[in-house]
């Protein structure tokens, strides 16, 4: 075994520190009952204060919202839908959606790097050829697979982040495909959030499963299928040859 492989296998507190920080943040959030605050009802009660904050602080409000979103994604907090609704309500469909996309991409990248550094590399060394075979297949068509995973809304966002970290996906491909792939779903929820005023006035609850409605889900699935057409074509061409 080479010296670099031995170094990867050895436990390194420095390497694991980012993961411990993220895990500690998630544990602290849940222990303190933070999930009770990142809810639709809490947002409904405090909507006036949030609107005033956005009106009087402008860019600071945008950066604050993006930072909160990034932290929530990095810590894998169960708050993505509510935060996206809030973004649409506070900044509009396009503005809130794109700010949410930026925050989600930043948070996902932090989680990806932490897991890839702390667990991904040692895992690949220990699993040997089995993992490398999967990686080779994935990396051969990485961009198509990555966009497919991001566009299909049935895959939990944080699970995809972890899986890609274990597969050793390149950082550039991860960032770009995440940034592009989550735009459709994010804009759908931001659009729903942009009309939350009507729900607030009627004391009603919006349909948070709207993305699973056939008229929305099927176009997203169709778009995701387009991303893997190059893979299918390559397979068919290889068989013919």
Could you tell me which of 98, 96, 64, 57 has the C-alpha nearest to residue 196?
A: 96
- Residue 50 CA: distances (Å) to CA of 19, 64, 186: 32, 11, 20
pTM: 0.81
Could you tell me which of 145, 139, 153 has the C-alpha nearest to residue 185?
A: 153
- The conformation of residue 37, written as its DSSP 8-state character, comes to T
By the 10 Å C-beta count (0-12 exposed, 13-18 middle, 19+ buried), 55 is classed as: exposed
- Read off the pLDDT of residues 151-180 as tens digits, 9 standing for 90 and up: 887 778 888 888 888 887 889 999 999 999
Share of the chain above pLDDT 90, in %: 27
- Read off the pLDDT of residues 7-32 as tens digits, 9 standing for 90 and up: 444 456 677 777 777 778 777 877 77
Q: Are 103 and 67 in contact (CB under 8 A)?
A: yes
Q: Are 61 and 53 in contact (CB under 8 A)?
A: yes
């Amino acid at each position: 075994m080479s010296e670099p492989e031995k170094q990867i296998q050895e436990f390194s507190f420095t390497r694991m520190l980012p993961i411990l920080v993220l895990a500690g943040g998630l544990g602290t959030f849940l222990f303190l009952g933070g999930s009770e605050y990142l809810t639709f009802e809490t947002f409904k009660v405090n909507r006036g204060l949030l609107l005033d904050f956005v009106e009087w602080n402008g860019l600071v409000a945008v950066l604050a919202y993006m930072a909160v979103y990034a932290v929530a994604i990095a810590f894998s907090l169960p708050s993505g839908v509510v935060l996206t609704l809030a973004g649409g309500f506070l900044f509009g469909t396009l503005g809130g959606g794109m700010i949410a996309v930026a925050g989600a991409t930043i948070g996902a990248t932090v989680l990806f790097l932490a897991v890839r550094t702390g667990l991904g590399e040692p895992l690949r060394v220990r699993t040997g050829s089995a993992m490398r075979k999967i990686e080779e297949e994935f990396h051969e068509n990485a961009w198509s697979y990555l966009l497919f995973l991001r566009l299909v809304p049935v895959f939990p966002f944080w699970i995809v982040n972890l899986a890609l970290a274990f597969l050793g996906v390149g950082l550039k491909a991860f960032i770009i495909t995440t940034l592009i792939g989550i735009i459709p779903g994010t804009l759908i929820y931001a659009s729903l959030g942009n009309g939350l005023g009507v729900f607030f006035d009627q004391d009603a609850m919006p349909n948070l499963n709207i993305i699973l409605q056939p008229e929305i889900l099927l176009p997203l699935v169709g778009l995701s299928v387009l991303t893997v057409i190059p893979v299918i074509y390559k397979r068919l061409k290889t068989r013919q040859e």
